[in-house]
Chains A and B, each alone.
Chain A
Amino acid sequence: MTLAMAGISKSFLGVGVLHDVDLDVRAGEVHALVGENGAGKSTLLKVLSGVHQPDAGTIAIDGEERTFANPRHAQDAGVAIIHQEFTLLPERTVAQNVFLGREPVRRGLVDTVAMEHATAALLAEIGETGFGPDAVVRRLSVAQQQVVEIVKALATDARIVAMDEPTAALAEHEVALLTDLVRRLTARGIAVLYVSHRMPEIFALADRITVLKDGARVTTLTAAELEPPTLVRLMVGRPLSAYYPPRATEFGDVRLEVRGGTAPAISGIDLTVRAGEVVGVAGLQGAGRTELLRAIFGADPFTAGDVLLDGRPVRLSSPRRAIAAGVAMVTEDRKAEGLALAQSVRENALLVLHAVFRRRARVGAARTRDLLATVGLRSAGEDQEVRFLSGGNQQKVVLAKWLAADPRVLLLDEPTRGIDVGAKAAVHELVREQAEAGMAVLMVCSELPELIGMSDRICVLHEGRLAGELPAGASEEDVMALATGHGVPHVEVPR
């Protein structure tokens, strides 16, 4: 089945988001859709799947023109979309989610057995053995939930599958599973439209690549014709250095020290971060990286162990205390924990100041404006509600909110998730700048090259314990060896 979208335009409240976009996807092909945050990728996918109706343009499937007044129409026509935000019901089983709204019925009742059989068959077909049809979605890892989304698409007999940043929340090894799965889809003749900000997987998967900029199509090329730097230039409009900002050459005193940090998922963590230093925290999913950061931040405090700030012991028993003591934390899940979605960009960016540093709120307004400009926020203005921003732009608001507090210690949990290459570089530079000004940075990032590129030192966690520390520029193999528990045992670094 082939899909052809032609001349698609869409605006919201008079603001043009898509302008005359053409895009076609062939059976068995992966067509990657790339572009900066707010370029209109998600909007185009929503038009394709009947969530939004285009102001102009046509959608044709196998040459036949179709209009989708709602997602159900698109589904019936064989189009499935995996949205940037999860749409699964957490308290229900995999099978219930897969057949949501289309449950097989027998004698007036939902036929649970048939539903689970069908789901099991689909799971087997794509080679998923990690969980069964009766697993409750809430208990699955993010990657497994992503698989459920895909199975859900397959269950509708979709012939065209559109995926919006399916790997944004995945760890490195999970990305590999997903890309395998995508290849299996195309082998079955399914046409895949794939949105991502991650260069390696784009080049690994895509047959053709379309670049979107400011809502208009820049070009469509075969992946073979393109090199990553060229693609970046097409997206951002200027060449971008492939290098990370230079590391610091000297550090100040120890700003943050954790001694014997223990919490439900971590135990006996010893760790120091100096002023000016960016320390990376590596580890597999479930190794306790987020837990470590949350414990330092007081969100789920340590049950044992000490935290010292600038050499003085502190009790950070709540985020409020931690913030007042000069600690900031960019959390992993921006929708659930980072943003008040119905509030404006300004309200969100100033929230920490309003909550903890009331006196600085007035001066803070100008500072946050600068920060938002630095990270390249694209919005209709500071009064726009953040729920209308694109995913990457929402992340930029979260970053600005924390930097506005001028913390001494900055904890970053997947800070660049979902943001485009240009903005990523800007964030990296911003973090370095802050470090140079004396901040201590502790960063979790599932993209290893990025973690290695940014870190002056890398602490690797394995099953809640510190498996070892690696110097700047360590290889991915070294990090993975420690992360999987095969590395050299941790040697106490004398203080």
Chain B
Amino acid sequence: MRTLRDRVGAAAPVFGVLLLLLVAIAVVNPNFLEPASLLAYLKRAAPLAILAVGQYFVIVSGEFDLSVGSLVTVQVVVAARLIDGDESATVPVIVLLIGLGLLVGLVNGLITTRLHVPSFVTTLGMLLVLSGAVFLWTGGAPRGSLSESFREPGRQGIDIPGFGQVPWSALILIAVAAGAAVLMRSAWGHTLVATGDNDRAAALAGVPVERVRTTAFVLSALAATVAAILLGGFAGVSAQVGEGLEFSAITAVVLGGVVLGGGRGSVLAALAGALVLEALFTLLNLLGVSGALESTVQGVIIIAAVAYAARRAGRRRRPPAVPEPSPQPA
């Protein structure tokens, strides 16, 4: 008997906003509605959307992952240096990147859950460690170059009859979205949300809380790896490629109505939040607003979105005066 409204629940506004923005873009630029430019939009949005999905797992479990931006940079820089134009190195390097992603996620998760360091601190530390390592390794300017096959997913596409050329990014995004949606409906997904809502009750109900949270960090780091591969191809190699992406991802998740602190919100809404953010940038760009304003816009949005969520919740439960960045088990 669940109505659509119930299902979409708190997420509904984000889909509405997305629709509105797309319409607005189409008004300014009627060409936008052509499949090719819609697909190009999806392609641009894909890395952030994938990061948002990863960030969602962490946030809904009651934590934060601030390390994804610098992880993306590390992955791209490492790939360029190790591949250095050598086609045959592509696959081994991708395997290595995945391994590196797993490792970073695991370390984030284990430090947070086993050493009881708030994830805000753990992943902020990881951010600094990773960006320091990149700087040390590159001396400021990344060396080497990516192979053509490495760049393919980020810039090329595949001909699908009826759609023309569909970017790999878009297809990968759809696969990630489908995978995440299925995961959230699995038993694991249920335990993840319960952990974010009340980790004491979850642990007493037999949820392996530490393992569940660690897995969330690993998924976030893997999402960063996929995003890095797409961005490497799409944006090229630079030591700034992942800069600020952690905040964009968190903004996207919050825009999707996912509550900071955990326990509420859907993964598809978080993904839609990323699409909203990208659409907004597209619109501002079309209107001739300087790209330099992007971070200002994001800052305003994240505060507004959290305030909006607090207002809705505040009807029944007063929001804490200081939003806890990361509730830790006692």
Residues of A with Cβ closer than 8 Å to B?
297, 299, 319-320, 323-324, 329, 331, 336-343, 347, 350-356, 358, 361, 381, 383, 387, 401
Asked if B2 and A355 make an inter-chain contact with CB atoms under 8 angstroms apart, the answer reads no
Asked if A381 and B1 make an inter-chain contact with CB atoms under 8 angstroms apart, the answer reads yes
Q: Can you list 30 A-B pairs with a CB-CB distance of less than 8 A?
A: A319-B203, A319-B204, A320-B203, A320-B206, A320-B208, A324-B206, A336-B198, A337-B204, A338-B201, A339-B201, A340-B202, A340-B263, A342-B197, A342-B264, A343-B193, A351-B191, A351-B201, A351-B202, A351-B207, A352-B205, A354-B187, A354-B191, A354-B207, A355-B191, A355-B194, A355-B202, A356-B206, A361-B187, A381-B1, A401-B205
Asked if B1 and A351 make an inter-chain contact with CB atoms under 8 angstroms apart, the answer reads no
In the bound assembly, the distance between CA atoms of A41 and B108 in angstroms comes to 47
Asked if A340 and B204 make an inter-chain contact with CB atoms under 8 angstroms apart, the answer reads no
Asked if A355 and B201 make an inter-chain contact with CB atoms under 8 angstroms apart, the answer reads no
- Is B200's CB within 8 Å of the partner chain A? yes
- Is B190's CB within 8 Å of the partner chain A? yes
Q: How far is the CB of A412 from chain B (nearest CB, A)?
A: 14
- Is B34's CB within 8 Å of the partner chain A? no
In the bound assembly, the distance between CA atoms of A356 and B316 in angstroms comes to 33
A contact residues around B207 at 8 Å (CB): 320, 351, 354-355
10 interchain residue pairs of minimum CB distance: A340-B197, A356-B206, A323-B206, A355-B206, A355-B207, A354-B187, A358-B187, A354-B190, A320-B206, A340-B194
Interface members, chain B 1-34 (any A CB < 8 Å):
1-2, 6
**Residue from A319, A323, A324, A350 in contact with B190 in the complex, judged by beta carbons closer than 8 Å:** A350
Contact A343 B205, CB 8 Å, known A337-B200, A351-B191 = no
Contact A347 B205, CB 8 Å, known A354-B187, A358-B187, A383-B2 = no
**Residue from B1, B200, B208, B263 in contact with A342 in the complex, judged by beta carbons closer than 8 Å:** B263
Number of A-B contacts (CB under 8 A): 77
Residues of B with Cβ closer than 8 Å to A?
1-2, 6, 187, 190-191, 193-194, 197-198, 200-208, 263-264, 316-317
Q: How far is the CB of A403 from chain B (nearest CB, A)?
A: 13
Contact A347 B204, CB 8 Å, known A340-B197, A341-B197 = no
B contact residues around A323 at 8 Å (CB): 205-206
Q: Closest chain A residue to B262 by CB distance?
A: A342
Q: How far is the CB of B30 from chain A (nearest CB, A)?
A: 42
Q: Closest chain B residue to A347 by CB distance?
A: B190
Starting from the known contacts A341-B198, A342-B197, 14 additional A-B residue pairs (CB-CB under 8 Å) come to A297-B204, A336-B198, A336-B200, A339-B198, A340-B263, A343-B193, A343-B263, A351-B191, A351-B194, A351-B205, A351-B207, A381-B1, A383-B6, A387-B316
In the bound assembly, the distance between CA atoms of A356 and B201 in angstroms comes to 14
B contact residues around A329 at 8 Å (CB): 204
Q: How far is the CB of B152 from chain A (nearest CB, A)?
A: 38
Asked if B263 and A319 make an inter-chain contact with CB atoms under 8 angstroms apart, the answer reads no
Asked if A347 and B6 make an inter-chain contact with CB atoms under 8 angstroms apart, the answer reads no
A contact residues around B317 at 8 Å (CB): 387
A contact residues around B190 at 8 Å (CB): 347, 350-351, 354
In the bound assembly, the distance between CA atoms of A350 and B317 in angstroms comes to 25
A contact residues around B204 at 8 Å (CB): 297, 299, 319, 329, 331, 337-338
Q: Closest chain A residue to B190 by CB distance?
A: A354
In the bound assembly, the distance between CA atoms of A76 and B190 in angstroms comes to 45
Q: How far is the CB of A415 from chain B (nearest CB, A)?
A: 15
In the bound assembly, the distance between CA atoms of A424 and B207 in angstroms comes to 29
In the bound assembly, the distance between CA atoms of A347 and B200 in angstroms comes to 16
In the bound assembly, the distance between CA atoms of A355 and B199 in angstroms comes to 12
Asked if A340 and B201 make an inter-chain contact with CB atoms under 8 angstroms apart, the answer reads yes
In the bound assembly, the distance between CA atoms of A323 and B194 in angstroms comes to 17
Q: How far is the CB of B191 from chain A (nearest CB, A)?
A: 5
Q: Closest chain A residue to B3 by CB distance?
A: A383
Q: How far is the CB of B13 from chain A (nearest CB, A)?
A: 18
Q: Closest chain B residue to A388 by CB distance?
A: B316
Asked if A347 and B201 make an inter-chain contact with CB atoms under 8 angstroms apart, the answer reads no
Q: How far is the CB of B210 from chain A (nearest CB, A)?
A: 10
Pick the most buried of B201, B202, B204: most chain A CB atoms within 10 A of its CB: B204
B contact residues around A340 at 8 Å (CB): 193-194, 197-198, 201-202, 263
In the bound assembly, the distance between CA atoms of A347 and B264 in angstroms comes to 12
In the bound assembly, the distance between CA atoms of A381 and B3 in angstroms comes to 13
B contact residues around A358 at 8 Å (CB): 187
Q: Closest chain B residue to A322 by CB distance?
A: B206
Q: How far is the CB of A250 from chain B (nearest CB, A)?
A: 32
In the bound assembly, the distance between CA atoms of A350 and B193 in angstroms comes to 13
Q: How far is the CB of B183 from chain A (nearest CB, A)?
A: 13
A contact residues around B191 at 8 Å (CB): 351, 354-355
In the bound assembly, the distance between CA atoms of A324 and B206 in angstroms comes to 8
In the bound assembly, the distance between CA atoms of A347 and B201 in angstroms comes to 13
In the bound assembly, the distance between CA atoms of A299 and B6 in angstroms comes to 36
Q: How far is the CB of B140 from chain A (nearest CB, A)?
A: 46
B contact residues around A297 at 8 Å (CB): 204
A contact residues around B203 at 8 Å (CB): 319-320
A contact residues around B193 at 8 Å (CB): 340, 343, 347
B contact residues around A350 at 8 Å (CB): 190
Q: Closest chain A residue to B7 by CB distance?
A: A383
B contact residues around A320 at 8 Å (CB): 203, 206-208
In the bound assembly, the distance between CA atoms of A337 and B199 in angstroms comes to 9
**Residue from A324, A336, A361, A381 in contact with B201 in the complex, judged by beta carbons closer than 8 Å:** A336
Q: How far is the CB of B226 from chain A (nearest CB, A)?
A: 27
B contact residues around A401 at 8 Å (CB): 205
Pick the most buried of B6, B187, B201: most chain A CB atoms within 10 A of its CB: B201
B contact residues around A361 at 8 Å (CB): 187
